Structure 1
């Protein structure tokens, strides 16, 4: 543990006889208040409250001290600390996790309903396919809404030149363009087709009057009804089918660059 809370202390004291070993791991200089000078006051208070003030308690509990650097080991040599050598957190990951495919939805404040509609879609897809990550554009409400899901990255809204540069960077696999049937959406243009194609991705689009004139199903995109399980199945299938993605992508580029 790095930080100690009252609940942790009570639990450890209650079950100390059943614990073979108690270890405090320190990867910053948490026990010297002078080293905290210049840090934000709120962060300094956290270090004091959840680490510094528990030094006597650690010794009472017979805790071992593990540290992240020889510098810390020398400074706190009286505790006879163990230095943990740094290791890559990425070693040992399967090949499926080493190369991620990016599934993205670049919505705006006017797409609140679509964000909500996509939540269970992402939830299922991410739980079933570890090679997929999700990229969203949204505000703090979007970030908080999707915080519980793994491998979701939320980018801040940006100005048009920055967004153009973002789309020009490679690495995106599948772009999503859901569209719920309401009065506001009826007036939209199919601009997401061009955004998704510019990003080098294959698009999955709502089977909606906005996209029907432009998207031919399984030719230059997928045109799907707004049924969440249908989208989940299509995303999973498309993510595994490299040849189909390449064919659809090339057909979409011919229209986008015409």
Structure 2
């Protein structure tokens, strides 16, 4: 059955693609925009409150990015027969409330309100499911999902070169509230690292709780969370050397994709990654990054080695940039196949 057309009917290619997103965000930038570019059709982007007239959806492929907000649910119910197709994309396990245990309560409620409670509705609407990781592909196999690989497209005006001060080594971790367990795990690692190496400075993204957790450590900059359009140019500012991607073993982390590899490489840094993570699946240890067991002492040693061995880091950064281009090329190869996807069987 072709889930890109209602009731299993074969339909011509979409006239246009309509992206429904909360705001400009990394999920759309890494996954959806590159995938839809392969269609060669006009692309419109709409926020939750930005509802088009029903006739604007005639022959359109509607892609819900992570969430299915109420106003769009109602609009789609009225216009489903007019759509070329309906897709739900997720790059975290947002459809299973149990997967988000351990994340902040307000975030778990948001996932339930905008995603998990819509699971039966998406199935009834015969929405195609696009996912970002093999874990999600396997977990939701009954839905016949399609794997969307991320592609890294440079921000206009972005330079791939960085030039940090030679006497300072900047280590960073940029995560959101959903990474709180990893942020807490990282605290003693950074404490030991800063105590042993005075030339290392640490940068982390977070709100009050993160600032409180790290406030007693010297040479720590806590950057307030920012929207994706502001973060992208911020992440490319010169002067970062080592990017961190710790990942504890949890159902929520198991569903993550390898976009942190893109973030770290784009910043001009080389990453230290957790084994078993999606990033570790694309990184070759010692070649384009370091894959280090989640042992604090091992992370302190690996970060210091990478920070102060300039020749090693330069070689690995070149390799990482090459790897990022290769991954993006593979993503482009897979985008066209997305539009032949099958959806859930009729109940």
Normalised to the residue count of structure 2, the TM-score between the two structures is 0.46
Extract structure 1 runs of 4+ deviating beyond 2 A: none
Aligned to 1:157: 225
Partner Cα separation in structure 2 for residue 153 and residue 240 of structure 1: 20
Q: How does 1:173-188 map to 2 (within 5 A)?
A: 173-188=241-256
Q: How does 1:137-148 map to 2 (within 5 A)?
A: 137-148=205-216
Aligned to 1:231: 299
Aligned to 1:251: 319
Partner Cα separation in structure 1 for residue 290 and residue 180 of structure 2: 22
Partner Cα separation in structure 1 for residue 171 and residue 202 of structure 2: 5
Aligned to 2:204: 136
Aligned to 1:74: none
Matched, 1:201 2:269: yes
Partner Cα separation in structure 2 for residue 141 and residue 220 of structure 1: 33
State the secondary structure of the residue aligned to 1:148.
coil
State the secondary structure of the residue aligned to 2:283.
coil
Give the gaps of 5 or more residues in structure 1: 1-96
Root mean square deviation of aligned Cα: 1.3
State the secondary structure of the residue aligned to 1:184.
helix
Equivalences, count:
162
What is the aligned counterpart of 1:122 among 190, 193, 209?
A: 190
How far apart are residue 98 of structure 1 and its match? 8.2
How far apart are residue 236 of structure 1 and its match? 1.3
Aligned to 2:54: none
Question: Is the CA contact (8 Å cut-off) linking 2:169 and 2:308 kept in structure 1?
Answer: no
Indicate how the Cα distance of structure 1 residues 209 and 151 shifts in structure 2: closer, same or farther if over 3 A, else same: closer
Q: How does 1:43-54 map to 2 (within 5 A)?
A: none
Normalised to the residue count of structure 1, the TM-score between the two structures is 0.61
Aligned to 2:160: none
Partner Cα separation in structure 1 for residue 166 and residue 269 of structure 2: 20
Higher relative contact order (CA 8 A, sep 6+): 2
Aligned to 1:171: 239
Indicate how the Cα distance of structure 1 residues 237 and 187 shifts in structure 2: closer, same or farther if over 3 A, else same: same
Give the gaps of 5 or more residues in structure 2: 1-164, 327-347
